[in-house]
Each structure stands twice: as structure tokens, then as C-alpha cells.
Amino acid sequence: MKFDINDFIDRLRRQALTKQEAGTRIYEEIRLAENTKVGFLDQAEENPDFYILISKEADQYITRLKVIHNKISPTPTALDQEMYQGEQQTIDLVMELIREIEAQTRTI
């Protein structure tokens, strides 16, 4: 998979889709990019420089897709909410840790 946003936008334009159809296609592309990134996970130990590079490219591509999705989607937050819903407990724990660190820093 190429993480080329311009290529994806060109393909999307050629399909002459409604906003809802385009939103669905973008959502599918995000999932494909995420799955592609996961497919390279075995390279993390074997070739860490390659994995860092491919991860960065995938993350940038996914971020751009999310921005486009949120601009055309009738419910722009739905995609992000669904993607992070399973991680909410971890996010809450991280935020609690940050609050604890900030509180300790203020008392020093």
C-alpha cells in the first residue's frame, strides 16, 4: 500500500461519490492503512529504522485521512470516537498519571 494522500484523493474524485459514500471510502482507507501498519510490526525488531519510517508515513497518512473525513462527514467526531472507544480506559489512566505528575511538580 502506498501512503499517498494525493493518489487517494484522485481515486476518490474519479468515483463521483456522495458525501456519505466518500466518508465510507475514507473510513475504509483508514482501516486499510492501520492494518498495513500492523502488518509491518514484525519489522520492529528485525529492522527498526524501517519500521519507524513506515509507521511515521502511515500515521501521517491516517491523520490526513481523518481530517478529510471529519470535514465531509455529517458526524465528524463519530470516526474518532469509534476508533478510540476501546482505548478509553488506557487514556483515562494516562491522564490520571499526568495529573499526578503535575501535582507533584507543583509541590516541589
Please write the tens of the pLDDT for every residue from 3-14.
Answer: 999 999 999 889
On whether both 20 and 46 belong to a single domain, the answer is yes
On whether both 21 and 65 belong to a single domain, the answer is yes
Q: Tell me which residue range forms the domain holding 98.
A: 77-108
The stretch 87-101 carries a mean pLDDT of 70
Question: What's the pTM?
Answer: 0.65
CA dihedral 35, 1, 68, 9 (to 10 degrees): -150
Question: Can you tell me whether residue 75 is helix, strand or coil?
Answer: coil
Q: What pLDDT is stored for residue 33 in this prediction?
A: 95
On whether both 88 and 72 belong to a single domain, the answer is no
List CB contacts of 66: < 8 A, sequence separation 6 or more: 30, 79, 80
Q: Rg of the chain's alpha carbons, rounded to an integer?
A: 18
Could you report the per-residue pLDDT of 43-73, keeping only the tens digit for each? 888 888 998 999 999 999 999 998 888 888 7
Residue 37 near residue 5, CB atoms below 8 Å: no
What is the spatial distance between Cα 43 and Cα 50, in angstroms, rounded to a whole number? Answer: 7
Per-residue pLDDT band for 76 (boundaries 50, 70, 90) equals very low
- Is the pLDDT at 35 greater than 90? The verdict is yes
- Is the pLDDT at 91 greater than 80? The verdict is no
What is the spatial distance between Cα 31 and Cα 25, in angstroms, rounded to a whole number? Answer: 10
What is the spatial distance between Cα 13 and Cα 69, in angstroms, rounded to a whole number? Answer: 14
Question: Count of domains in the chain?
Answer: 2
